[in-house]
Structure 1
Amino acid sequence: MTKRILVTGSNGLLGQKLVALLRQQPGVELIASSRGANKLADLYPDLRFVPLDVTDRAQVQQVLRAEHPTHLIHTAAMTNVDECELNREPCWLQNVTAVEHLVEACEQLGIHLTHVSTDFVFSGAAGPLAEEATPGPVNFYGESKLAAEKAVRASSGRWAIVRTVLVYGIAHEYGRTNIVLWVRDSLRAGKQINVVNDQFRTPTLAEDLAQGCWLVVKHEATGVYHISSSELLTPYQMALQVADYFQLDKSLIVKVDASTFSQPAKRPLRTGFIITKAQRELGYAPHTFQEGIALLARQTAQ
């Protein structure tokens, strides 16, 4: 049976990786959507794109009724943690209200909803974490994402929640940097960098997260899945791996703890995921961080 998949946030990092992946799948009809103009038009002239502001309930209803997807993968969100802390109303609108609109429409129209969430729904007191671990966010971004999860769980329709951790990757016309390029470019410029060694994560290659979302749709899976790598690393350990790969000066990397930085939003100290459920039920097989660095190096052709 053909799967007609609508992706929200197709201009973002994950959205772009999903478009690239889903275009190659047999039996998939893809609809990309985003609030802004289609950034991928020059890459994929044949890509079906519909403008969609997920915070607009009427527009959500209209687009989903017109496009009649069988599946929706919701990647659009406000993800800048400090921005969410400082601008709570827009954060709630984009991360919670929008999800409520999508849940309502998907429920009415019988659309399978895959919602992307985060390790920041957890407190950071312990990790790595399985899907059943008790949430307890320490910042407003985490609170908004937990509220969105609750909205999804309350649906009587078919749904899956895909939680992920510290996503890194490269995308077309995508302004944000990531830990790999930041470390590489800083060290190449001879800059000393402070990198925390008391926060633990299982960093996620964007391509792996896209693969995890696709496997959920492919298997018609429901429930919660943790999608990340299986390596629990600190940003400092990640930075050392980047320096080793590109043969750069590791003495420029200064080990610090999180208290060195004054950020508006508190970060959970120890998260990271146990991914055995996704491996067992979906056949999910992520890259190692070393393999992720190599992939980004090839993508930037440097």
Structure 2
Amino acid sequence: MKKVVITGSNGLLGQSLLNLLLQFQEDYEVFGLARGENRSGRSDFTYVSVDLTDKLNVNAVLERIAPAVIINTAAMTNVDQCEIEKEACTILNVDLVRWLTEYASGKQTQLMQLSTDFIFDGKQGNYKETDMPNPLSHYGLSKLQSEKILQDSKVHYTILRTILVYGSVYDMSRSNIVLWVKASLEKGKKITIVNDQFRMPTYVENLALACKLAMDKEVKGVFHVSSDSLLSIFEIATQIATTFNLDPKLLVPISSSALNQRAQRPAKTGFDLTKTQSVLGLPITNFAEDLQNFKEKITYDSI
């Protein structure tokens, strides 16, 4: 049985990973690490409340567990907040990864890190794993720095870069684009949506599956995970409205410059998914079918 630690187990991906891995309890002994109470709604795994910004605390917990795999889903991901609170962002997004790497050094532990399309400047799009990063924000820089820590180490690392993750779990601490657009339109609210930023949205259940495949196959290196649909944020919102039978006329297109956001965003990202499909064997899906699957899941969960 493989001991698996999920840091940030209260988050969207963390809870999704718990729900996936705990279907295979004969294969994995799962440990969830996060701050405060267990918010997953599950008690069939070992939960450890830990301050992930405290190196000694983190290391003591890991030494006690001695995991075969660490999946680090903990991060500060609010891009504008990272620009304002750079030190807090660096501690969670960079320092924690350094501590996890130091723990895993010299051990057989596989260390899996989640990264982002925001390490790129958005001038090219359709990025391969080998393309040159050039982050435009402190958030993007912090995630790139964490990648470099792993790549410069001798640990068995796996980096999964992803884009605009959405989904729903038992106890949500924050929203995401699909839930926000859906909730706003259900209330009849007009919302402004940028029409000059292009992304490939990622359904969290597909991302969780990518983590499991990377763990089971014990792969090393960098992999890109997203849907294969490159859409403007406005087109994404329109697709959400269509899928949930809501009024797309409430969506108002706006340019990025008019938003005056604190952190600069890349204009066009999107991934080349060839390596992920061939090495991980992850099925490539489009946004429309993922969104329909998500709709059916939340409809079923609410019954």
| Shared fold (TM-score, shorter chain, > 0.5) | yes
Per-residue CA deviation, residues 68-107 of structure 1 (Å, 9 max, x unaligned), is: 1111100001111111000111111111111100000011
SS at match of 1:300: helix
Aligned to 1:100: 98
For 1:22, give the aligned amino acid: L
Q: Is the 8 A contact 1:166 1:204 kept in 2?
A: yes
Residue 23 of structure 1 and its aligned partner are, at CA, apart by 0.7
Q: What percent of counterpart residues are identical?
A: 42
SS at match of 2:61: helix
Aligned to 1:10: 9
Give 2:255's match in structure 1, choosing from 252, 257, 263.
Answer: 257
Aligned to 2:238: 240
Per-residue CA deviation, residues 42-76 of structure 1 (Å, 9 max, x unaligned), is: x3222111223232221222111110111110000
For 2:6, give the aligned amino acid: V
- Cα distance in 2 for residues equivalent to 1:126 and 1:206: 25
For 2:211, give the aligned amino acid: C
SS at match of 2:67: coil
For 2:255, give the aligned amino acid: D
Q: Is the 8 A contact 2:192 2:252 kept in 1?
A: yes
For 1:170, give the aligned amino acid: S
Q: Is the 8 A contact 2:228 2:287 kept in 1?
A: no
Residue 209 of structure 1 and its aligned partner are, at CA, apart by 0.8
For 1:13, give the aligned amino acid: L
Aligned to 1:228: 226
Q: Is the 8 A contact 2:11 2:173 kept in 1?
A: no
Aligned to 1:201: 199
Aligned to 2:129: 131
Do residues 24 (structure 1) and 23 (structure 2) align? yes
Give 2:181's match in structure 1, choosing from 159, 180, 183.
Answer: 183
- Cα distance in 2 for residues equivalent to 1:284 and 1:102: 26
Do residues 155 (structure 1) and 161 (structure 2) align? no
- Cα distance in 1 for residues equivalent to 2:183 and 2:8: 28
Per-residue CA deviation, residues 236-284 of structure 1 (Å, 9 max, x unaligned), is: 1111111212222222212222112111111111111111101101110
Residue 286 of structure 1 and its aligned partner are, at CA, apart by 4.2
Unaligned runs of 5+ in 1: none
Q: Is the 8 A contact 1:65 1:109 kept in 2?
A: no
Unaligned runs of 5+ in 2: none
Q: Is the 8 A contact 2:120 2:135 kept in 1?
A: yes
Aligned to 1:274: 272
- Cα distance in 1 for residues equivalent to 2:36 and 2:293: 28
Q: Is the 8 A contact 2:116 2:161 kept in 1?
A: yes
TM-score between the two structures when normalised by the length of structure 2: 0.95
Residue 152 of structure 1 and its aligned partner are, at CA, apart by 0.9
Which one is further off, 138-147 or 56-65?
Answer: 56-65
Aligned to 1:166: 164
After TM superposition, the structure 1 = structure 2 runs for residues 61-76 of structure 1, keeping only pairs within 5 Å, are 61-76=59-74
Residue 9 of structure 1 and its aligned partner are, at CA, apart by 0.2
Aligned to 2:33: 33
After TM superposition, the structure 1 = structure 2 runs for residues 277-296 of structure 1, keeping only pairs within 5 Å, are 277-296=275-294
- Cα distance in 2 for residues equivalent to 1:12 and 1:185: 20
Q: Is the 8 A contact 2:164 2:199 kept in 1?
A: yes
SS at match of 1:82: helix
Aligned to 1:145: 143
Residue correspondences, number: 299
Question: RMSD of aligned C-alpha atoms?
Answer: 1.4
Residue 234 of structure 1 and its aligned partner are, at CA, apart by 1.0
TM-score between the two structures when normalised by the length of structure 1: 0.95
- Cα distance in 2 for residues equivalent to 1:208 and 1:286: 9
SS at match of 1:186: helix
- Cα distance in 1 for residues equivalent to 2:102 and 2:108: 10
SS at match of 1:109: coil
